[in-house]
Chain A
Amino acid sequence: MIRELTCIICPKGCQLKVELDENKKVISVTGYTCKRGEVYANTECTAPMRTITTTAAVIGGGVVPVKTDKTVPKEMMFDCMKVINQVRVSEDAKLGDIVIENILGTGANVVTTRNVKI
């Protein structure tokens, strides 16, 4: 079977066609214009991954933007959100500080994306 995808790696948004066998194994990929598109098509059809960008509460009030420093399995996004929404970030945290290490065993750390104090 053929699966059509939009590559999400860059703003170009290439339209990919992935040929899969009956066990959903990737046979071929077409439509990509760079190597990353081919890699994306393969992971997307086997184990789709996403980066989470959200906010975390700061001790003393307010929020700070955070992200996972690697992609996490797509189906774990909401579970990760639950964990992130429970954390309280120090008021002294700087851009890139780890807020949660290895979130839910995914291998990704949750890190701040700006200094809490401006």
Chain B
Amino acid sequence: MSKVDLVIIGGGPAGMSAAVAAYDAGLRNILILERDTSLGGILRQCIHNGFGLHRFKEELTGPEYAYRYELQVRERNIPFKLNTMVLNVSPDKVITAMNSEDGMFTIEAGAIILAMGCRERPKGALNIAGSRPAGIFTAGTAQKFVNMDGYMPGKKVVILGSGDIGLIMARRMTLEGAKVEAVCELMPYSGGLARNIEQCLNDFNIPLMLSHTVVEIHGKERVTGVTIAKVDERRKPIPETKQYIECDTLLLSCGLIPENELTRGAGISIDRVTNGAFVDQNRQTDIEGVFACGNVLHVHDLVDYVSEESEIAGKAAAAYIMNGKHEKAVAIELKTDGKIRYTVPQRITSEENVTVYFRVADVYRDVRIVVKDGENVIINKKKQKVAPGEMETVTLTSAMINGITSGSLSFGIEGIN
């Protein structure tokens, strides 16, 4: 069994920036394990632009953003193994992996960074009536077909779900000659960015049907159409509003799920809201020396934030190896009121400034984000609008953290009309 100081599972944007940050913090014995044929992760198929505005102050496409990090990895000669599938992570940080060159092998890791990303919610989880003909794809699968392999999955398309990948694929399919009949969204608001509704749907007069869902899929061998219907406030379809749309393809863009099989296998506790590990400000899980970052921890809207978060994890993992074990400070738990769905991190064991990322449960206008220590308000931040599709942040200063007396902080939204 070989020994490696820091093993990073996943060579996408999270894994690469964690590796670079760990290296730049002084750590040298690093190994990235990536199951795909090259570094870059999902960015390789995200050929549209809009990446890197925060990081690089310019607008890059996904492959360009990924390549900048790949170059940083290569310049530092950080080793990586491609085509390598990690099968298991044990609680004592032994990694079992395999590839066609080395066969099955184990590595004893000093520290591990989990950077496996996320996957799309599959159709099986959606309970749509009808048969299961060819022509039903997740938006990301269609994106891979079109952008990586050069195949068009269909000509007349209905998209269920208005997440960003669905919106991006509406434009992509249209540019390549398909007709996108409609994008149906179960919720009364879109889960995608406003700019994508503008440039991916409005630019091509593709209707966004809010509070609508697909109630039936038609076709035997191949999709021939779908029946859609409006839904009521309880999200139940209203039978009188049913309408048939002829199409040969149904794309599903219904959310992303962090890919945490390895995390669970290691016995790391998972937050049921984020579907990612519970972490502290260093993105350390409840197993010491095991960190998580990027979409495996919680789904991000912008890769720029993935890079930012992964640098935190990379730096902290390097410090863990080089400075020995952390003394366990008393943890401050971060709690939420339901209107704020979750925070990352979920606990703080530091006395330095900590930026807390969070997501809200619904669209709220003219509200205040309130952080309280018991009854004591320590942050009261006005917001014109918050929406579930856009991650928010507040920064807790070390003075605030040192002043906490109740052992926890509650994050909530107030002043909602």
Contacts and interface: CB of A to CB of B under 8 A. Distances in A.
Contacts of B38: 118
A10 B195 contact: yes
- Chain A CB within 10 Å — which of B47, B146, B197, B390 has the most? B47
Interface in B143-200: 146-150, 172, 175-176, 193-195, 197-199
A28 interface: no
Contact of A6 (B53, B176, B197): B197
Given A65-B61, A74-B203, A95-B64, A54 B47 contact: yes
Interface residues of B, number: 32
Contact of B175 (A9, A10, A54): A54
Contacts of A55: 47, 146-147, 150
Given A52-B175, A74-B203, A67 B147 contact: no
A67 B194 contact: no
Interface string B371-403: 000000000000000000010000000000000
Nearest to B60: A113
Nearest to A78: B175
A7 interface: yes
Given A50-B199, A53-B49, A6 B147 contact: no
Interface in A56-111: 57, 62-63, 65, 67, 74, 77-78, 81, 95
A20 interface: no
A84 B148 CA distance: 16
Interface in B329-358: none
A16 to B, nearest CB: 10
Nearest to A66: B47
A67 B49 contact: yes
A22 B380 CA distance: 45
B193 A113 contact: no
A7 B47 CA distance: 21
A72 to B, nearest CB: 13
B63 A54 contact: no
Contact of B49 (A51, A57, A95): A51
B417 interface: no
A87 B78 CA distance: 37
Contacts of B194: 6, 13, 15
Contacts of B195: 6-11, 13
Nearest to A9: B195
B150 A11 contact: no
Nearest to B48: A53
B203 A50 contact: yes
B95 to A, nearest CB: 25
Nearest to A62: B150
A11 B302 contact: yes
Given A62-B150, A77-B175, A113 B47 contact: yes
Nearest to B198: A6
27 contacts: A5-B198, A6-B197, A7-B195, A8-B198, A9-B195, A10-B50, A10-B53, A10-B195, A11-B53, A11-B195, A11-B301, A11-B302, A11-B390, A15-B194, A50-B203, A53-B49, A55-B146, A55-B150, A57-B150, A62-B149, A63-B150, A65-B61, A67-B49, A67-B61, A95-B63, A113-B61, A114-B44
Given A8-B199, A95-B67, 9 more contacts: A6-B198, A7-B195, A11-B53, A13-B193, A50-B203, A55-B147, A62-B149, A65-B61, A78-B175
- Nearest first, the 7 closest Cβ-Cβ pairs linking A and B are A13-B194, A65-B47, A63-B150, A114-B63, A6-B198, A8-B195, A13-B195
Interface of B: 37-38, 44, 47-50, 53, 59, 61, 63-64, 67, 146-150, 172, 175-176, 193-195, 197-199, 202-203, 301-302, 390
